[in-house]
Amino acid sequence: MELNHEGDAAYKRGGRLLENLPAPEDLVVMKRMSRPGYARRILLGAVLVLAASAILRGTWPFFAPAPMALEFAAVIITGWLGGLWPGLAATLFAVLSWLLLPPGDIGMTPAIFDSLLEFTVVSVVISWLSGARLRADWSDQERKFLLRQLQTESARLEAILQQLPLGVAIVEAPSGKLLLHNDEAERLLRHPFVPSESTTPLPLYGAVHPDGRPYRAEEYPSARAVQEGDVIKSETLRYAHDDGSVTILSVNSAPIRNETGAILAAVTVFQDITERVRAEEERTELLRQLVTSQEDERRRIARELHDQMGQHVTAILLWIKALSDEAEAVSPERARLLHQLRSMIDEIAREAHRIALELRPTALDDLGLHSALLNMVDEWTDRYRIDVDLQVSGLEHSRLGPQVETTIYRIVQEAFNNVVKHAHAGRVGLVVENARDHLLVIIEDDGVGFDTETTHSPGMGILGMKERVALVGGTLNVESSPGSGTTLLIRVPRAENKEIAQREIAACDAD
């Protein structure tokens, strides 16, 4: 993988930081060595007490003025090195040695008993204080160990983030303060990030939705992830820079939770898709121009078939009729042949009329989508003997934009062709509803259906239909399964419909 200059420098910085830190496995060993087990410490106390008792009993007259000095020293050493429980164990060993095997011929006098009691109390206090000191030392070691681990993981995370070709930012919950980001985030937004700045979760003021609405502070993906715990995937926003240029970003954001489910932070990843979106827009515009050119060419060919070829066919029929009248008196056989020729030319005229209607029905331009669909259904039913249940609402006294009407007509036409070629259906349902906020078209059949998960669906019309409906801002969904028929659901937002109609009217006025 090739690294850019900034990413390479960040990677080297992270590498140097990692080299100066102990490896995690070394820290684990250090931790284990810093806290030896209780058994070893208790054993150490027992050995010291036994050694003190042996020395005391071997040199008894010498230590008679301070009979418990050696045991007391052994308990102090054990408590200092081992903590509370080893110190208590050493105290118990010392007391038992005095009770069970006193040195010399000394008996358990009240003075000796008081000395044992004082010895026990002082030893317990010293052991408790030593245990508290050791626990503090161990806690400090563990804190340093965890801090080094955190520094290690933070350095590794920073080194990884700097290599990503995506902008990454992590913000704190619920304040939205910036905790961590990479250089790509600053490059994409052209904004210097200041860690722990208490502003908007990300400096994206000026961003707008794809439809042009400005983002409110609580609508930003990072804010929704921090405050609501939402997971945002591939949300598109347009970000305006100070120089007037616009960057189109694809944003993903998700909360980071602890084991109880509380939100600790949120990570936001954004990618520059400006070139991809503009290329898609150019492709869409080229496709729209191609479809428009196709429809214009269809209209021209249909007009020529209807006008010029219709005139020629009509003239030929008149001449054949005249010849047939003359042939009746001269040759009945010739008259029969002329009659057959006339029937063939009539069939050619009907076929030319049908082709002209399929290319560009005049009703679609003159009367609108409702009338064009009625004519299509009547002609299709007569031709293929398949029942069609047509339901249209909202189009009886209104029209849509020419591009929308043409798109819906072509999609219905292609869907009917797929029914004949692939579905083998006995009934087809067609619903067209022009609602207040959208245009809804449902086409369903009771045919054989197909598996929508397969790579290739029957025919090549599905992809073309999806592309055509996308040109008018709509969507097309296919529902089908083997043996259960097929349903096409087309939805075109009314706002897109009005916008397209206004654009087409303005284009016509300009012409």
Domain boundaries, the chain: 5-161, 164-272, 275-360, 384-510
pLDDT at 202 exceeding the cut of 70 = no
Angle between helices 332-359 and 369-384 (to 10 degrees): 140
pLDDT digits (tens, 9 = 90+) for 215-238: 888 888 888 898 888 999 988 888
Residue 440 three-state SS: strand
Pairing of strands 387-393, 427-434: parallel
What pLDDT score was predicted for residue 205? 58
For residue 416, which of 432, 400, 427 has the smallest C-alpha distance?
Answer: 427
For residue 49, which of 97, 1, 3 has the smallest C-alpha distance?
Answer: 97
Q: Mean pLDDT, to the nearest integer, of 102-111?
A: 60
Higher pLDDT pick, 57 / 449: 449
pLDDT at 375 exceeding the cut of 60 = yes
pLDDT at 501 exceeding the cut of 60 = no
What pLDDT score was predicted for residue 11? 39
Pairing of strands 263-272, 246-257: antiparallel
Rg (CA), the chain: 45
Q: Mean pLDDT, to the nearest integer, of 453-480?
A: 78
pLDDT digits (tens, 9 = 90+) for 242-267: 777 888 899 999 999 988 889 999 99
What pLDDT score was predicted for residue 102? 66
- CATH: 3.30.1360.170, 3.30.43.10, 3.30.565.10, 1.10.8.10. Which one for 384-510? 3.30.565.10
Report the range of poorest mean pLDDT among 29-38, 84-93, 226-235: 29-38
Secondary structure (DSSP) of 149-177: HHHHHHHHHHHHHHH-SSEEEEEETTT--
The answer to whether 127 and 91 have CB atoms below 8 angstroms apart is: yes
What pLDDT score was predicted for residue 227? 87
What pLDDT score was predicted for residue 505? 44
Residue 111 three-state SS: helix
Give the number of C-alpha atoms closer than 13 A to the C-alpha of residue 373, restricted to the C-beta side: 28
Q: Mean pLDDT, to the nearest integer, of 58-66?
A: 57
pTM of the predicted structure, to 2 decimals: 0.54
What pLDDT score was predicted for residue 356? 77
Pairing of strands 167-172, 475-480: unpaired
Give the number of C-alpha atoms closer than 13 A to the C-alpha of residue 247, restricted to the C-beta side: 21
Higher pLDDT pick, 70 / 16: 70
Rounded CA separation 129/434 (Å): 85
| Mean predicted lDDT score pLDDT of the chain | 76
Q: Mean pLDDT, to the nearest integer, of 344-364?
A: 80
Residue 330 tokens read as 């001269």
Question: How wide is the angle at C-alpha 286 spanned by C-alphas 282 and 291, nearest 5°?
Answer: 145
Higher pLDDT pick, 34 / 347: 347
**Percent of the chain at pLDDT above 90?**
10
pLDDT digits (tens, 9 = 90+) for 131-187: 777 777 777 777 888 888 888 887 887 788 888 888 888 888 888 788 888 888 888
What pLDDT score was predicted for residue 19? 44
What pLDDT score was predicted for residue 103? 59
pLDDT at 197 exceeding the cut of 70 = no
pLDDT digits (tens, 9 = 90+) for 403-451: 898 899 989 988 998 888 888 888 999 999 998 888 999 999 998 988 8
Given pLDDT bands bounded at 50, 70 and 90, which one contains residue 199?
Answer: very low
Residue 364 tokens read as 């679609």
What pLDDT score was predicted for residue 124? 75
Residue 309 tokens read as 């070829």
> Within a 10 A sphere around the Cβ of 357, how many other Cβ atoms?
19
**Burial class (CB within 10 angstroms; exposed 0-12, middle 13-18, buried 19+) of 112:** middle
Sheet containing strand 475-480, strands side by side: 387-393, 427-434, 438-445, 486-493, 475-480
Sorted by sequence, the CB contacts under 8 Å of residue 236 that are 6+ apart come out as 210, 248, 249, 250, 251, 273, 277
Rounded CA separation 166/271 (Å): 5
Q: Mean pLDDT, to the nearest integer, of 262-276?
A: 90
Q: Mean pLDDT, to the nearest integer, of 194-206?
A: 53
What pLDDT score was predicted for residue 432? 93
The answer to whether 34 and 80 have CB atoms below 8 angstroms apart is: no
pLDDT at 92 exceeding the cut of 50 = yes
pLDDT at 33 exceeding the cut of 70 = no
Given pLDDT bands bounded at 50, 70 and 90, which one contains residue 129?
Answer: confident
The answer to whether 204 and 237 have CB atoms below 8 angstroms apart is: yes
For residue 380, which of 393, 367, 389, 391 has the smallest C-alpha distance?
Answer: 389
Pairing of strands 486-493, 438-445: antiparallel
The answer to whether 434 and 393 have CB atoms below 8 angstroms apart is: yes
The answer to whether 468 and 372 have CB atoms below 8 angstroms apart is: no
What pLDDT score was predicted for residue 335? 77
What pLDDT score was predicted for residue 77? 73
Q: What is the fold, at CATH topology level, of the domain defined by 164-272?
A: Beta-Lactamase (3.30.450)
Q: Mean pLDDT, to the nearest integer, of 62-66?
A: 55
Higher pLDDT pick, 62 / 252: 252
What pLDDT score was predicted for residue 30? 42
Given pLDDT bands bounded at 50, 70 and 90, which one contains residue 57?
Answer: low
Given pLDDT bands bounded at 50, 70 and 90, which one contains residue 115?
Answer: low
Domains 164-272 and 384-510 share a fold: no
What pLDDT score was predicted for residue 195? 56
Pairing of strands 475-480, 427-434: unpaired
pLDDT digits (tens, 9 = 90+) for 283-342: 888 888 888 788 788 778 877 777 777 777 778 878 877 777 777 767 778 777 877 888
